[in-house]
Amino acid sequence: MNKNKIIALSMYTKEKIKIFSGSGKTAAGDFLNWDIHDVIGHIAFWLNYSKTQLINMKTKKQFDHIENLEDTNFNAYTMYKGKPLEEVIKETEDLFTEYLRLADPFTEEELEQKDYFPGVSLELWKCMVLDLFIHPIMHILHYYLKEGMYREFTEEIKTSGKDFLDYSGNRMDVFSFKEFYGDQSEKISRFTKLQDFSGERDNELLRGVIQFNIEEN
C-alpha cells in the first residue's frame, strides 16, 4: 500500500470522528460500557502511543512496552473521561495530523519493511493503517453494534469494508469482534439482531461479516 492511500485512509477516519462533534453526547458510559466519548478518548490515547513509537523508531530510542493492556486502557479511559468531548475530538484530529507528519519521511521501500516493532512481524505500512484506520473504525463499528445503530454499522461496512479486505489480503478475520466480548454469546446475539434488521442481504460483504462473527468461536 502506498503512502497516498495511507493518507487517504487517515483522512477518512479523521472526518468520521468529526461527525460526533456537537452531538451533545456526554461522558455517560463506564469502563465496561463505553459511550462515544470513551471510544474517541481510547483512539486518541493509542494514536499518541503509536506516534511516540514512530519518534522512537527514527531516533533509535527504546520502544515503550505495554506491560498490562487492561490497566493501560483503564488509565486511558480515566484520563479522557474528565475532558469535554469537543476537546477530545480536537486532540484526536491533531494527533492524526502529527502522526502523518512523522510518517511522511518514510520511503515506499521502508513502508514495506518488517520488524520495526519488537515482536510484531508486520510491514510498516500495515502498522500505520492499523493505527490510523483499522483500529479506530473497528471501535466505531463496535459502538454502532452495541448501541443498536444497525443502519450506521451497515453503511460503514459498505463504505470502508473493501479497504479492510485490502489491508488483510481478503481475510475475513479482520472483521472479528471477538476481543470486544468476554461473553461470546453476547456477540452472537448482537450480530443475529443485525442480521434480522438488515435489509442488505444482497450485500455479500455485510453477509460475510455477520456470518463470520456468528460462527467464530
> pLDDT (tens digit, 9 = 90+) per residue, 162-187?
999 999 999 999 999 999 998 899 99
Same-domain status, 111 and 42: yes
Supply the range of the domain harboring residue 160: 148-217
Residues 45 and 152 in one domain: no
φ/ψ of 35, rounded to 5, equals -95, -175
Nearest one of 5, 15, 45, 13 to 126, comparing CA atoms: 5
**How is the chain split among helix, strand and coil, in percent rounded to 5?**
70, 0, 30
Q: Is the distance from CB of 136 to CB of 17 less than 8 angstroms?
A: yes
- Total of domains in the chain: 2
In a domain, 142, yes or no: no
Taking residues 52-71, what's their average pLDDT?
81
- Asked whether the predicted pLDDT for residue 36 surpasses 70, the reply is yes
Residue 25 pLDDT: 54
Is the pLDDT score of 26 beyond 90? no
Distance in angstroms (rounded) separating the CA atoms of residues 77 and 186: 23
> What's the predicted TM-score (pTM) here?
0.93
pLDDT at 98 over 90: yes
Residue 14: predicted pLDDT: 97
Specify whether 14 is located in the same domain as 57. yes
pLDDT at 188: 95
